[in-house]
Structures are given as structure tokens and as C-alpha cells.
Amino acid sequence: MTQHISRTEATFPPPIPAAQRWLRGVTFTPERPLINVSQAAPVEAPPAPLRRAMAEMMEDTAAHLYGPVLGLPELRAELAGHWNGIYDGSLTADNVAITAGCNQAFAATLSALCTEGDEVLLPTPWYFNNKMWLDMQGVTSVPLPTDGDLIPQVATAEPLITPRTRAIVLVSPNNPSGVEYPAETLHAFFDLAQRHGIRLIVDETYKDFDIRPGAPHDLLQRPDHAATLIQLYSFSKAYRLTGHRVGAVLADTALLSEIEKFQDTVAICAPQLGQRAALWGLRNLTQWREGERAEILDRRAAFEENAPLIEAAGWKLRGLGAFFAYLEHPFAEGSSTLAPKLVREAGILALPATMFVPEGDASGERCFRLAFANVNRETIAELFRRLAALDWPLATQDAAS
């Protein structure tokens, strides 16, 4: 009898819960507390003015009922206007769908584009939840290797496109590497996708924390963008609404009609309170959001300032931006083995890059992803001191190259 394996059984376990299990049985002292750089989600509550507004929203009966499948009309219109203000676009509310977080935005979009056996190009290192969703849908994730700066190149991507390819996914600023893709890169991939009649999906979850002032690209100004470009967004990071699950898809109306089928079946609508909170944030928290951006950029600067401390020991800062640093280590053992040791011997919880690359990709054993959304300058300095103090056996030059 043939063994039956479900789609979820064929998909690897969620990396964040797996990493948290390394904490079991390990004791941390007040003098040497755990430094948790495993997850980018803010752990603080939304700002007080937003919490007060949400308390008032709770008294509105409509906040507890089903809402429109593609989201509150006011929020869709407000986000379209916000997006147009940044990208000098001409989107309307009809080009916006509100989802239960950006993960669902991705899931809804790929469900609308793909069927079993189709292919999607994902640059490596990739965001693991994207890979997990494609696995669960029977869609093939085609690894797209990035260059020495962790930026994907069209010349590498084009030979990977087949008649089954439906989309290319770019995350910028990138999770896990933090790298901000140049506008020229996004334009080149737009041209590639258009040339092959496939979609370019640009996940801009971390756009609010891009170090570059102004718009990171001008793809919405291209008159032909609607048939190719899809943008994804999350309110979780910019407004600390992680638990309220509010994300968005910005795309052509025909695609959103297909996404509406997915939404109505899976969630009916995104959480009503979260949508109202996101709307209030867009209208009232611009200055506060800029303060959050400044704080994250300062933490990014702290990583740059402390990097020489570990570079002298053989580490390399491969990528840095948004909430993430991507570090190449100098040790003989791989990151999948060293990550639990980091918890026990250095009090650091970080993710090995093996969680962000295909199985068997040796580059994953050489790197770690560190998320600095919840560590301040003082903790960052201590993090680097602990990394610099590690005296594990070093890799040979041949093994490291």
C-alpha cells in the first residue's frame, strides 16, 4: 500500500518555534540574560494613542462583525493614497486588498496565480514561509542564487524560467539578508517578467525602514505596470500590530477578484479591529512611524559600528538593513550545529542560514540571520562582545571559501 503524505507533512516545520525549543533547559542569569535576535516581530504594544483609539473602536458593533471580503473601503482607499504619495502612482481603492497579515497576502496571491506543478522563482536566501506555502500548494520553488552582495541578477534568473513559471518573488528590504535591492535591479526584473508574460511580486513589508529617502523604485509610474507588478505590504512592523494580522496586496483588479475567492474561503475578512487600527495609524501616526524608522536605522548603524570587533575574528557582515543582519561565521562547524551552541554557550538565540536556503545548499551552514527589532544599542554592543569571545575551532581557508 502506498504511503499517503499530506502537503503539510511534506513541508518542513516552522523555523521560529524550532529555534525556540533550543531554550529548553537552559538557564540565563540577570548578569548574562538571553539576547534574542531570532525574530523580527516587535514585542512592544502599539503606541498609547493607538491603543486608546482601539479601545474606543471596541465599542463599535461593526468592529466585531464580518466586513467586506477585500477589506474596509476606507482602509483600501487610505492605503492607495499613501502608496501613491510614496511611489507617485495612480492606484485606487479597487487596487487594494486587505489580508490577515502579509503571509496571507502572499498565500492569497500565489493561490490566485498558480496551480499544482507550476514554478515560482525565489532568490536565496529566501523567506522560509514563502517556501513553506509553495510546498503546501504543490508549487515548485525554483532557487535563484544571489550574487556576492546577496542581490539577484536577471542573467542568473532568465535561464531558470520555463513554460511552468508563473512569478518571480523579490523581498526588499530583504528578509533574511536585510539587503535593499537597487531600483535598477527591480526594473530589470520587471522587464524580465514582462518579457516572459509572468508576474513580478515585490514584498515591501519593510519599506518603512529602508535607509534610502523617498521611493525605492518608480515601477508604478510605468504605464504598463498593472499586467506585471504585484506589491505586498504589512502593517505589523510599522504600527506594532503583529497580533492583529493586517496586510495588503496592491495589484490589478482582475487579480484581486481571484484573491477575493481565496479570502472568502479562508478568512472571510481580515480582523476588523486590526483594520480600523491600521486605518487610524495611516491617518495619525506619520510622525511616530518616522521615529520608529529612525530608531531602527540607529540600530542598523550600531551593527555597522560594532562589526569591526568580530571582523577581526573572521566574521563577515554580508547583509544589513531593515530589521536584519546576515553574518558569515569563521568556524569549522556549520551554523545548524552552532546555533544551539550559541544559546548554551553565549546566551544568543539566532537563526542559522540553513533555514533560508534549499536543503544541501552549503552557503546556509556558513551564515546566521540576526534580527535587531527588539535589541537596543547597549544590547547590540554586548551581542558583538559575546560573538567576539567565541573560541570555537576555525574553518580552514579552503573550507570557508
Distance separating alpha carbons of residues 110 and 232, to the nearest angstrom = 12
Average pLDDT, the chain: 95
Given a cut of 80, is residue 400 above it in pLDDT?
Answer: no
* CB-CB contact of 176 with 127 (8 Å): yes
Please give the radius of gyration of the chain, using alpha carbons only, rounded to the nearest integer: 21
Q: Tell whether 196 and 294 lie within a shared domain.
A: no
The arithmetic mean of pLDDT across residues 54-62, rounded, is 95
Q: Tell whether 54 and 157 lie within a shared domain.
A: yes
Distance separating alpha carbons of residues 368 and 137, to the nearest angstrom = 28
Using the 3D structure, point to which of 232, 262, 285 is the last residue of a domain. Answer: 285
- Residue 257, domain member (yes or no): yes
pTM, rounded to two decimals: 0.95
* CB-CB contact of 15 with 127 (8 Å): no
Q: Tell whether 232 and 318 lie within a shared domain.
A: no
Choose among 297, 339, 343: nearest CA to 320: 297
Q: Tell whether 31 and 62 lie within a shared domain.
A: no
Q: Tell whether 279 and 339 lie within a shared domain.
A: no
DSSP element (H, E) containing 264: helix 253-266
Q: State the pLDDT at residue 401.
A: 46
Segments forming the whole domain that contains residue 164? 48-285
Using the 3D structure, point to which of 270, 285, 300 is the last residue of a domain. Answer: 285
- Residue 1, domain member (yes or no): no
Instruction: Name the β-bridge partners of 348.
Output: 35
Per-residue pLDDT reduced to its tens digit, 232-284? 999 999 999 999 999 999 999 999 999 999 999 999 999 999 999 999 999 99
The residue to which cell 524608522 is assigned: 293
Q: Tell whether 52 and 180 lie within a shared domain.
A: yes
32 secondary structure, DSSP code = B
The arithmetic mean of pLDDT across residues 345-359, rounded, is 96
Distance separating alpha carbons of residues 87 and 16, to the nearest angstrom = 33
Given a cut of 70, is residue 132 above it in pLDDT?
Answer: yes
Q: Tell whether 343 and 218 lie within a shared domain.
A: no
* CB-CB contact of 319 with 370 (8 Å): no
Distance separating alpha carbons of residues 350 and 328, to the nearest angstrom = 13
Alpha-helix residue ranges (DSSP H) falling in 34-72: 48-57
Per-residue pLDDT reduced to its tens digit, 181-231? 999 999 999 999 999 999 999 999 999 999 998 899 999 999 899 999 999
Query: How many separate domains does the chain show?
Result: 2
Per-residue pLDDT reduced to its tens digit, 305-349? 999 999 999 999 999 999 999 999 999 999 999 999 999 999 999
Indicate the length of the chain as a whole number. Answer: 401
* CB-CB contact of 300 with 321 (8 Å): yes
Q: State the pLDDT at residue 1.
A: 61
Q: Could you tell me how far CA 348 lies from the centroid of its own chain?
A: 21
What sign results for the dihedral spanned by CA atoms 102, 103, 108, 112? positive
Given a cut of 90, is residue 167 above it in pLDDT?
Answer: yes
- Residue 8, domain member (yes or no): no
Q: Tell whether 268 and 295 lie within a shared domain.
A: no
- Give the count of beta carbons closer than 10 Å to the beta carbon of residue 166: 17
Range scoring the smallest mean pLDDT among 32-46, 76-90, 164-178: 32-46
